[in-house]
Amino acid sequence: MEKGNSNSFIKGAFILGIAAIIAKILGAAFKIPLGNLIADTGMGYYNSAYPIYAALLVVSTAGLPAAIAKMVSERVALGDRYGAHRVFKVSFLILVIIGLFTSVALFIGARPISNLVKNHKAYYSMIALSPALFFVSIMSSFRGYFQGLQNMKPTAISQIIEQFGRFAVGLYLAYQFSKVSLEKAAAGATFGATAGAFLGSIFITYIYLTYRKNKFGQIKNTSINQESSASIIKNLLLIAIPITIGAAVLPLMNLIDTGIVMRRLTAIGYEYDTANRLWGQIGLGNNIINLPQAITAALQVSLVPAIAYVVARRDRVQLIQNIETGVRVTLLIALPAAVGLSILSEEIMLLLYPSQMEAAIGAGEILRISAWGVVFLSLFQTFTGILQGLGKQLIPAGNLLIGALLKLVLSYILIGIPAINIKGAVIATLAGFILACILNFIFVKIYTRVKFNIIQDIIKPIIAVITMALVVKYSHISLGLFISSRMATVISIALGAFVYGIMLLLTRALNDKDFELMPGGKKLYRIAKIFYKK
């Protein structure tokens, strides 16, 4: 890969990562007041609708966009920009059809689905979500095209616009309908997703039309091989179907929870309302876990076209470098996030949900366990991006399916044990991700023969994380003697982040390439070199 393209992978991951953080902050800013507004009962309705929506959304946001990005990147690597644009045009039509079909299916099927999951009051939430499927499908086609060009800005900005629309409209409607009923307030909140998707699709369509106007001559005059539409569709599906199957497994794992949790909890004696509140507590904890995972998900998206590009050019040196960079950054983000969330789980939930103390304490107990899933899900995502870029998209799908089967068995058994109850779903999810992550790692090693630097990539970050954990734990205890627990939590988190950064420098866990991922990286590296002097 040429240097510029190497930099585009690094910058692309950074741009998507920043956008993902902003989007997740908006998401948290949405769900935290929402949780305080509609409490765990309303969140139970909300959480019953979203897994259904997410399962249908996988068709339009996982396989085809990744396939578009891969095929566009391969053709650009060979100088065929016209062929890359034809891939987009064919896939756009496919996604419009899929969006219409899934949107209508959810609208018509909302009543029987809500009855099937034993939460009939989630009906209005499902209805409110159905139009979003169409608009997200439109966005997905454009995002896949620009990602294949390794231009992540349209995707990043559209994500922020989408989340802002969801935040503003969803909270406004939830507040207005909370005066009527909790089930309609939850529906108002879910309609925010439809509003956000509409705004995001308008923006990215405008960006594409501007790009096409400026680049039309360049696109038109670079035809190398006239592919038929049938050939493009065939190749898209060969890539997209395995990726879609794999991506569908993750929402499937959530659907497993949706279908099993309520049934198993009521089977061991919990009343419907109590079981629904416990189910809502998982959703409260997941809001926090989603933030660090957003960054590693951005790395996965950026890795697919970057890996496909270097494979098309047969550049093994850059291939190994991209893999090492992706895994290194994943660990540097996921390890401290998991440890910090686990140590201060209850304190963080009480900080964010002060008006829902009982629900926050329950969610904190769940978060203490589920936080460790950040490491394994993040690594799984990164390894998946690598394998998809290599053209081995069926492998991560199979590995995650194996993990989901393990989760299914463990969820059924563990939730049915009264002493474990709702925590069984979290433990089962963690076990499923651990197994899938290990399997993905094995296949990456088989196909690339990459060798990781254990000391540099694992031992040094672990030393930094252990030091951070000790500072966070004992500073919170000490500060709690003099100031409020909420203020002690905020200061402890800030101290932990500072100490982690210093320890990464003292152990030399960061190198110059890692600093390239940061804003003002060159200036930061000049400062960091103070710590690197012998």
DSSP structure string for 222-276: -------HHHHHHHHHHHHHHHHHHHHHHHHHHHHHHHHHHHHHHHTT--HHHHH
- Tell me the range of 44-53, 181-190, 244-253 where mean pLDDT is highest: 181-190
The predicted model gives 347-354 an average pLDDT of 86
More confident call, 62 vs 419: 419
The predicted model gives 358-362 an average pLDDT of 83
The predicted structure's pLDDT at residue 2: 43
**Cα–chain-centroid distance for residue 489?**
26
The predicted structure's pLDDT at residue 179: 82
Percent of the chain with pLDDT over 90: 30
Eight-state DSSP code of residue 518:
S
Whether 136 and 57 have beta carbons less than 8 Å apart is answered as: yes
Burial of 523 (0-12, 13-18, 19+ CB in 10 A): exposed
Q: Where are the domains of the chain?
A: 21-222, 245-452, 454-534
Q: Is the pLDDT of residue 147 over 50?
A: yes
**Cα–chain-centroid distance for residue 367?**
17
DSSP letters of 68-99?
HHHHHHHHHHTT-HHHHHHHHHHHHHHHHHHH
Average pLDDT, the chain: 84
Q: Is the pLDDT of residue 4 over 50?
A: no
Tokens representing 428? Answer: 């089962």
The predicted model gives 21-44 an average pLDDT of 78
Q: Is the pLDDT of residue 151 over 60?
A: yes
The predicted structure's pLDDT at residue 297: 78
More confident call, 20 vs 93: 93
The predicted structure's pLDDT at residue 194: 94
Cα–Cα nearest to 292, from 256, 321, 332, 258: 332
How far is Cα 152 from Cα 161, in angstroms, rounded to an integer?
14
The predicted structure's pLDDT at residue 334: 92
Query: 1: pLDDT confidence band, cut at 50, 70 and 90?
Result: very low
Q: Is the pLDDT of residue 46 over 90?
A: no
The predicted structure's pLDDT at residue 252: 66
Q: Is the pLDDT of residue 477 over 70?
A: yes
The predicted model gives 336-347 an average pLDDT of 92
Tens-digit pLDDT profile for residues 111-122: 888 887 777 778
The predicted structure's pLDDT at residue 20: 78
Whether 428 and 403 have beta carbons less than 8 Å apart is answered as: no
Tens-digit pLDDT profile for residues 430-461: 999 999 999 999 999 999 988 888 888 889 99
Tens-digit pLDDT profile for residues 386-396: 998 898 888 99
How far is Cα 465 from Cα 332, in angstroms, rounded to an integer?
9
Tens-digit pLDDT profile for residues 319-333: 888 888 888 888 988
Cα–Cα nearest to 292, from 234, 375, 226, 354: 375
Query: 9: pLDDT confidence band, cut at 50, 70 and 90?
Result: low
Tens-digit pLDDT profile for residues 169-225: 998 998 888 888 888 888 888 899 999 999 999 999 999 999 887 776 566 655 556
The predicted structure's pLDDT at residue 25: 79
How far is Cα 263 from Cα 531, in angstroms, rounded to an integer?
56
Eight-state DSSP code of residue 62:
I
The predicted structure's pLDDT at residue 340: 94
Tens-digit pLDDT profile for residues 62-82: 788 888 988 998 888 877 888
Per-state percent for the chain, helix, strand, coil, to nearest 5 = 85, 0, 15
More confident call, 408 vs 79: 408
More confident call, 7 vs 296: 296
